Amino acid sequence: MGERSTFDLQVKSAGDEATVAVSGELDAYTAPQLRKMLDEILDGSVTRVVVDLAATSFIDSTGLGVLVGAARKVRSQDGELVLESPVRSVHRVLQITGLTLSIPVRNAPDDEIDSAPEADPTDLTPA
C-alpha cells in the first residue's frame, strides 16, 4: 500500500459564515472527519458554509455524500452551502455526478464540460 496524502481541515468563521478548507483526499477514510466538522458548524448560528476545495486532490462517493448531506442540512435551516475553487479533477467528478446542478460552485476551472447549467440550490433530489 502507498502512503496516504495528508488530510487536513481548517475552519474560519466570520459572523454567520464559515469556510472549511479541505486539504488532501476526501474519501471513505477522511469523509467522516468532514461530516463531523460540518455537523458541528451547522449546529451553531452559521447560515452560509463555504467548502474550499482548492487543496482537495481527490473525492470519492463518500465525500460527495458528505457534501450532499451538508447541503440538505444547511438548506433545511434556510442557509446555503457553496463549493469553492475545486481543482480540475474534483470539479470534473462534481460535474459528472450532477452535483454542480444542485450545489453552487464558485471559481471553478475554465474547462467546464459542455457548459454545464447553473446550480438550482433547491434541487437535491436524486437523479
Q: Which of 60-69, 76-85, 102-111 has the lowest mean pLDDT?
A: 102-111
pLDDT, mean of residues 79-97? 97
- pLDDT for res 1: 46
Q: Which of 13-22, 103-112, 114-123 has the lowest mean pLDDT?
A: 114-123
Q: What share of the chain is helix, strand, coil (3-state, %, to 5)?
A: 35, 30, 40
Q: What is the rounded end-to-end Cα distance, in angstroms, of the chain? A: 35
Phi, psi at residue 64, to the nearest 5°?
Answer: -60, -40
If you search the block for the grid coordinates 459572523, which residue do you land on? 15
Tens-digit pLDDT profile for residues 110-119: 754 444 556 6
CA distance 114 to 98: 13
Tens-digit pLDDT profile for residues 26-64: 999 999 999 999 999 999 889 999 999 999 999 999 999
pLDDT, mean of residues 85-104? 96
Please report, rounded to a whole number, the percentage of residues in the chain having pLDDT higher than 70.
Answer: 83
If you search the block for the grid coordinates 462517493, which residue do you land on? 61
Domains of the chain, CATH where assigned: 8-115 (3.30.750.24)
